[in-house]
A and B are shown apart, each in its own frame.
Chain A
Amino acid sequence: MDTSQLLKGVLDLAVLAVLDRGDGYGYEVVRGLRAAGLHEVGDASVYGTLRRLYHAGLLTSYVVPSEEGPHRKYYSLNAPGRERLEELAKDWRAFAETMEGLVGAA
């Protein structure tokens, strides 16, 4: 099954969940999602999602200069972001339970 379609609906939740473990820059979030088993998520989708959540006021950002390599823009969950994460997580659990009830017997 192509999980990229399923991912679209829950990418916000996934990104917020990764950032809930700790601040991170774009590629760190990509790696966090991959490490969690979401291999099909596109790099550009993660960067775009971060920009959208940032513009929605759910994330704050700060730049950390580095000696070698690029400066990193870190994203961090703020209070509205945490609220949103809880909402989405609740929705997800209810949805997963419903789906499990539906397909569990299959």
Chain B
Amino acid sequence: MSDDGTTQARTTTQLSGPAEEYLDGVRAALADLPGPEVAEILDEVRAHLADLTTELGGDPGTEELTARLGPPDAYADELRAAAGYPAAPGPEGRPRHGIARLAVAALVVSTLLLASGLLAGEPGAILLGLLLAALGLPVVARGGRGPASISALPEVRRLAAHRPAPGTPGAMVLDFLASLQPAWWVARAFAAAALVVGVLAGIGLGAVLLVGVLAVPVSVWVGRRSRRDRRWLWPVVPLNALAAVVLFGLLADGLTGSYPSPASQSHPAVYQSGLWQDGEREIRDIRPVDAAGNPLSDVYLFDQDGRPIDTSGGAECAHNGDGRLSTGVESNAPYPRGTWDYDPITGECRHVPPGPLVVAVPTTPTSTAGATAGPTATAAPGAGATTAPPPTTAAAPTTAAPEGGPTTAPPPVPPTR
């Protein structure tokens, strides 16, 4: 193939005025095609016009040329059709490039924002992404003209030109991927279900599966629809990207063994049974004392809404396999209750009654007991000390008391807060 000499050809031939005008018309109508290709074509058209000029008597007018070849636009269109070039963009195609480009950029950026916002648990990014998508979608969805203006974008066209030719390995890979499309439709339905259920209702594998099964027909419908009407691709492609991110997150979560929902990433506090102080210290029993430090028994405790406070949920062995409390463990008993634990010898779950305990009651200026008597702490006899569990000590340097006997008062320990 030798395509040299075209530059020469371009400069040596001088056409007559009307022929040169005709050539300009064709050039303008092909302006959206790649430059080198246009130059090649115009060289040939120039030669063509020169031949016709000779044939038509040396000095044809514009009418004669048009009568023979049709108007320059029609000539260019016919050439495009025969050469397999993309059809000419509409008259409004060029100024629309800016809007189309903006719309594509908005969709791409919104997809990235949605995906990263979801991964990082950043609601602001998700909101901004949705806003951008809402701005971009109307442009591409408008009356069929939007996608045309987008597919007329030079960069989009260049991408399309790089599609592998049929029969090549690249095309075979693409065909294979295309044949997997229905599987993807199902997968993305479950991704959407995980997203919706995760955001709206927290975590629940059953709910995800249920919503996923309901979402599959919708997803398949959208997939078939977007095969026929390519306009659907513009909203579907960003959502697909989102679904891919969710699926990726689910897979990653599944591999690391955490909860199967992206929502778990934004709510790291996992549900723990029982009563916990600051999420790290389990409260297995409550030992009420009065202001003087005297232990109280048969105390019922309620939260700010009047619901009973129950510490029995945290004791692992207090539950049967199905989550119900074992016999003997009451969730509405008064405090102190004692604890439930595995017997180190028999391995059975047994009740450990509350042992003697020395607590430091904080001194407060307004407290009459503390103000007059100074720092006091009393050793309390166990409420129902029948067996002899090791004495439990709490708070600071205290001494365990022999059963029933008062001890010396330790220095007051302010609450660690």
Residues on A close to B: CB < 8 A?
11, 25-27, 42-52, 55, 60-63, 65, 69-73
A70 vs B3: C-alpha distance in the bound complex, in angstroms? 15
List B contacts of A27 (CB < 8 A): 47-48, 51-52
Inter-chain CA distance A69–B50, complex, in Å, is 7
Question: Can you report 14 A-B residue pairs in the complex whose CB atoms are below 8 A from each other?
Answer: A43-B75, A44-B75, A44-B76, A48-B78, A51-B41, A55-B84, A60-B2, A61-B1, A69-B50, A69-B54, A70-B12, A70-B43, A70-B50, A71-B9
In the complex formed, the residue of B with least CB distance to A49 is B82
Are B78 and A71 in touch, CB under 8 angstroms? no
Q: Is B229 an interface residue (CB 8 A)?
A: no
Using A60-B2, A71-B8 as known contacts, list a sample of 15 further A-B pairs with CB atoms less than 8 Å apart, ordered by residue number in A: A25-B44, A44-B75, A44-B79, A45-B79, A47-B83, A48-B82, A48-B83, A49-B83, A51-B40, A52-B83, A63-B8, A65-B8, A65-B9, A71-B5, A73-B47
Partner of B82, one of A45, A61, A63, A72: A45
* Cβ-defined contact, A48 with B12, below 8 A: no
Given the complex of chains A and B, what is the CA–CA distance between A7 and B81 in angstroms? Answer: 14
Q: How far is the CA of A17 from the CA of B170 in the complex (A)?
A: 32
Which B residues have a C-beta under 8 Å from some C-beta of A? 1-6, 8-9, 12-13, 37, 40-41, 43-48, 50-52, 54, 68-70, 74-76, 78-85
B81 touches A69 (CB 8 A): no
- Residue on A with the closest CB to B77? A44
Which of A11, A42, A62, A69 makes the CB contact (< 8 A) with B2? A62
> How far apart are the CA atoms of A29 and B279 in the complex, in Å?
86
Query: B residues within 8 A CB of A55?
Result: 83-84
Q: Closest Cβ of chain B: how far from A24's Cβ, in Å?
A: 12
Q: How far is the CA of A25 from the CA of B44 in the complex (A)?
A: 9
Residues of B close to A63: CB separation below 8 A: 2-6, 8-9
| Distance, CA A46 to CA B48, complexed state (A) | 11
Contact assessment for A26 and B48 in the assembled complex, using a CB-CB cutoff below 8 Å: yes
Q: Are A65 and B5 in contact (CB under 8 A)?
A: yes
Out of A48, A62, A65, which one reaches B79, CB within 8 Å?
A48
**B1 & A60 in contact (Cβ 8 Å cutoff):** yes
In the complex the two chains form, what is the Cα distance from A65 to B8 in whole Å? 8
Report the bound CA distance from A52 to B81 in whole Å.
10
In whole angstroms, how far apart are the Cα atoms of A25 and B5 in the complex?
15
Given A71-B5, A71-B13, the answer on whether A48 and B47 have CB atoms closer than 8 Å is no
Task: Tell whether A25 pairs with B47 under 8 Å between CB atoms, given A61-B2, A69-B54, A71-B5.
Answer: yes
Tell whether A70 pairs with B13 under 8 Å between CB atoms, given A45-B78, A47-B82, A52-B83. yes
Indicate if the CB atoms of A47 and B2 lie closer than 8 Å: no
Verify A72–B78 contact, CB threshold 8 A. Answer: no
Please name all residues of chain A whose beta carbon is closer than 8 Å to the beta carbon of B52 when the two chains form the complex.
27
**Other-chain residue from B5, B12, B79, B84 in contact with A47 (beta carbon distance below 8 A):** B79
| B82/A11 in contact, CB under 8 A | yes
CB distance A44 to B43 under 8 Å?
Answer: no
Bound-state CA distance A26–B51 (Å) is: 10
Q: Of residues A51, A61, A69, which shows the largest number of chain B Cβ atoms within 10 Å of its Cβ? A: A51
Given the interface contacts A27-B51, A61-B3, A63-B3, does A70 sit within 8 Å of B46 by beta carbon?
A: yes
With a cutoff of 8 Å between Cβ atoms, the chain B residues found around residue A44 in the complex are 69-70, 74-76, 78-79, 82
| Residues of chain B contacted by A52 (CB below 8 angstroms) | 82-84
Chain B residues contacting A71 (CB-CB under 8 Å) are 5-6, 8-9, 12-13, 43, 47
**A41 CB to closest chain B CB, in angstroms?**
10
Which residues on the B side are within 8 Å of A25 (C-beta)?
Answer: 44, 47
Whether B82 contacts A46 by the Cβ 8 Å rule is yes
A17 to chain B, nearest CB (A): 16
Q: Residue among A52, A55, A70 with the most chain B CB within 10 A?
A: A70
Contacts of B6 in A (CB 8 A): 63, 71, 73
CB distance from B65 to the nearest CB of A (A): 11
Name the residue of chain B whose CB is nearest to the CB of A64.
Answer: B5
Closest chain A residue to B84 by CB distance? A52
Residues of B within 8 A of A73 (CB): 6, 9, 40, 43-44, 47
